[in-house]
Structure 1
Amino acid sequence: MDRIIEKKTWTPKKITLISGSVILAVFLFYTLVFADHKASLNVNNERITIGKTITGNFQEFIAIDGNVEPLKTIYLDMVEGGRVEKLYTDDGRKINAGDTILKISNSTLQIDFLNRETQLFDLMNERQNSEITMKQDQIKALNALAEIEYNLKQTENKYKRSKNLYAEKVIPLAEYEQTEDEFMYLKRRKELAERSLKQDAELMTKRLRQLDQSINRMQANINIARSTLSNLYITAPISGQLSTLKAEVGESKTAGENIGQIDDLNGFKVKANIDEHYISKVYPGLQAAFDFNGQTHSVSVAKVFPEVQNGQFQVDLEFPEGKTPEGIRRGQTLQIRLHLSGGDKAVLIPRGGFYQSTGGAWAFVVDQSGKFAEKRTIKLGRQNPQYYEVLAGLKPGEKVIVSSYDGYGDIEKLNLE
Structure 2
Amino acid sequence: MDQPLDPRIQTRQRRLRMLAAVAILATVAASAFGLNRLIRPAVSAQDVTIAVIQRGTLANTVSASGTVIPVHEEMVTSPVTTRVAKVVAKPGKEVAQGELLLQLDDKDIRLTIDGLHEQLAQQENKIAALTQELEQKRKQLVAAIELLQLDLKSAEARWQRFQKLRSSGAVSGEDLLTAELNVQRIQVQLRQQQEQIEDSKRSTRTSIDGALLQKSILQKQLAQQERQLASAQVRAPFAGVLTWLAEDEGATVNAGQVVARVSETSNFRVEATLSDFHAHSIAAGQAARIEHNGQTLTGKVQTVLPEIQNGTMKVLLALDQPHHPLLRNKLRVEAWIVTSGAAQTLVASAGPAFNGSGRQAVWVVGEGRAVKRELQIGASDGKNVEIASGATAGERLIVSDMSRYKDLDTLRVTQ
The TM tier, using the shorter chain, reads 0.7 to 0.9
TM-score, with length taken from structure 2: 0.74
In structure 1, the partner of 2:11 is none
In structure 1, the partner of 2:40 is 41
Which shows bigger deviation, 153-162 or 226-235? Answer: 153-162
TM-score, with length taken from structure 1: 0.74
Alignment of 1:223-238 (within 5 A): 223-229=219-225, 230-234=227-231, 235-238=235-238
Q: Secondary structure at the match of 1:231?
A: helix
Cα distance, 1:251–1:157 mapped onto 2, change above 3 Å: same
Alignment of 1:345-356 (within 5 A): 345-355=344-354
| Cα shift at 1:157 | 3.5
Q: What is the distance in 2 between the residues matched to 1:49 and 1:224?
A: 76
Q: Secondary structure at the match of 2:75?
A: strand
Q: What is the distance in 1 between the residues matched to 2:100 and 2:192?
A: 61
Cα distance, 1:160–1:232 mapped onto 2, change above 3 Å: closer
In structure 2, the partner of 1:394 is 391
The counterpart of 2:183, out of the listed 178, 181, 187, is: 187
In structure 2, the partner of 1:204 is 200
Structure 2, unmatched stretches of 5+, are 2-20, 26-35
Q: What is the distance in 2 between the residues matched to 1:376 and 1:166?
A: 144
Identity of aligned residues (%): 20
Alignment of 1:209-224 (within 5 A): 209-224=205-220
Q: Secondary structure at the match of 2:191?
A: helix
User: Residue 199 of structure 2 aligns to which amino acid in structure 1?
Assistant: L
Paired residue total:
379
Q: Secondary structure at the match of 1:212?
A: helix
Q: What is the distance in 2 between the residues matched to 1:236 and 1:393?
A: 62
| Cα shift at 1:206 | 1.3
Alignment of 1:139-154 (within 5 A): 139-154=139-154
| Cα shift at 1:100 | 5.2
Alignment of 1:131-142 (within 5 A): 131-142=131-142
Cα distance, 1:52–1:138 mapped onto 2, change above 3 Å: closer
Alignment of 1:80-229 (within 5 A): 80-87=80-87, 89-91=89-91, 92-96=93-97, 101-105=101-105, 108-169=108-169, 171=170, 173=172, 177-178=174-175, 180-181=177-178, 183-229=179-225
| Cα shift at 1:337 | 4.2
The counterpart of 1:411, out of the listed 382, 404, 408, is: 408
Q: What is the distance in 2 between the residues matched to 1:99 and 1:212?
A: 45
Q: Which structure has the greater CA radius of gyration?
A: 1
Cα distance, 1:129–1:147 mapped onto 2, change above 3 Å: same
Q: What is the distance in 2 between the residues matched to 1:334 and 1:89?
A: 30
Q: Is the 8 A contact 1:64 1:273 kept in 2?
A: yes
Q: Is the 8 A contact 1:65 1:334 kept in 2?
A: yes
| Cα shift at 1:55 | 0.9
What is the root-mean-square deviation of aligned Cα atoms in Å? 4.0
Cα distance, 1:291–1:167 mapped onto 2, change above 3 Å: closer
Cα distance, 1:178–1:236 mapped onto 2, change above 3 Å: farther
Q: Is the 8 A contact 1:52 1:399 kept in 2?
A: yes
Q: Secondary structure at the match of 2:40?
A: strand
Q: Secondary structure at the match of 2:314?
A: strand
Which shows bigger deviation, 129-138 or 103-112? Answer: 103-112
Structure 1, unmatched stretches of 5+, are 4-22, 28-36
Q: What is the distance in 1 between the residues matched to 2:41 and 2:194?
A: 124
Q: What is the distance in 1 between the residues matched to 2:379 and 2:357?
A: 15
| Cα shift at 1:293 | 8.7
In structure 1, the partner of 2:303 is 303
User: Residue 219 of structure 1 aligns to which amino acid in structure 2?
Assistant: K
In structure 2, the partner of 1:361 is 360
State yes or no: 1:312 paired with 2:312: yes
State yes or no: 1:332 paired with 2:331: yes
Q: Is the 8 A contact 2:151 2:186 kept in 1?
A: no
Q: Is the 8 A contact 1:155 1:179 kept in 2?
A: no
Q: What is the distance in 2 between the residues matched to 1:266 and 1:52?
A: 40
Cα distance, 1:195–1:381 mapped onto 2, change above 3 Å: same
The counterpart of 2:382, out of the listed 367, 372, 385, is: 385
Cα distance, 1:287–1:355 mapped onto 2, change above 3 Å: closer
Q: What is the distance in 1 between the residues matched to 2:156 and 2:373?
A: 138
Q: What is the distance in 2 between the residues matched to 1:339 and 1:290?
A: 11
Cα distance, 1:249–1:178 mapped onto 2, change above 3 Å: farther
| Cα shift at 1:179 | 6.3
Cα distance, 1:124–1:57 mapped onto 2, change above 3 Å: same
User: Residue 201 of structure 2 aligns to which amino acid in structure 1?
Assistant: T
Q: Secondary structure at the match of 1:390?
A: strand
Cα distance, 1:184–1:133 mapped onto 2, change above 3 Å: farther
| Cα shift at 1:67 | 1.9
Cα distance, 1:290–1:211 mapped onto 2, change above 3 Å: same
In structure 2, the partner of 1:9 is none
Note the alpha carbon deviations across 1:127-175, whole angstroms, 9 max, x for none. 3333333433333333333333334433443444444445434x463xx
State yes or no: 1:259 paired with 2:259: yes
